[in-house]
């Protein structure tokens, strides 16, 4: 009986690591596409330009992506008249919020966390294209 419990525990850990790997694989694909966009366009453009380019790059790579996805705002069981708009949702599992700002702030992180909670998605990427090296403009959040 002790072995069964240990075995079940290992199975649960294995399933969790498979799920995390799936999200890791998708986020790596997104980051590869974002690096290509940044390498081609460089910093200094409007957020909308990067959104369009990243959408095109992901689509060209055969990755499922949706742009400007509306998420209803719920408050105490009611749906409010406004909506959130996610910049991108990739493979129905990773929310991508794009910025073209001097630096990422705590409010940007909070915004992405709210989007994750409201959309029921667990993994998000915050990508700031207005940096000389894109790696310095990336933040990954997992709930």
Backbone angles phi and psi of 91, in degrees to 5: 55, 30
pLDDT in tens, 62-76: 999 999 999 998 889
CA dihedral (56, 57, 60, 64) in degrees, to 10, reads -80
Unique residue bearing structure tokens 């790997």: 21
SS3 34: helix
Whether residue 12 has pLDDT greater than 50: no
Distance CA 109, CA 113 (A): 6
Query: What's the structural domain count of the chain?
Result: 1
**Domain that includes residue 25, residue range:** 2-142
Eight-state DSSP code of residue 30: H
Q: How would residue 17 be classed by pLDDT, with cut points 50, 70 and 90? A: low
Give the least confident one: 54-58, 86-90, 117-121, 128-132: 117-121
Higher pLDDT, residue 77 or 48: 48
From the centroid of its chain, how far is CA 46?
A: 19
Global confidence as pTM: 0.82
């Amino acid at each position: 009986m002790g072995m069964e419990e240990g075995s079940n525990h290992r199975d649960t850990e294995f399933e969790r690591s498979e799920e995390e790997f799936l999200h890791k694989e998708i986020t790596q694909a997104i980051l590869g596409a974002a690096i290509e966009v940044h390498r081609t366009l460089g910093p200094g453009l409007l957020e909308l330009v990067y959104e369009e380019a990243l959408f095109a790059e992901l689509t060209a790579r055969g990755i499922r992506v949706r742009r400007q996805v509306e998420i209803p705002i719920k408050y105490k069981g009611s749906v409010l008249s406004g909506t959130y708009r996610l910049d991108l949702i990739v493979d129905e599992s990773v929310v991508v919020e794009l910025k073209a700002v001097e630096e990422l702030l705590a409010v940007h992180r909070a915004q992405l966390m709210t989007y994750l909670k409201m959309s029921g998605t667990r993994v998000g990427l915050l990508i700031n294209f207005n940096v000389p090296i894109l790696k310095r403009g990336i933040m990954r959040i997992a709930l």
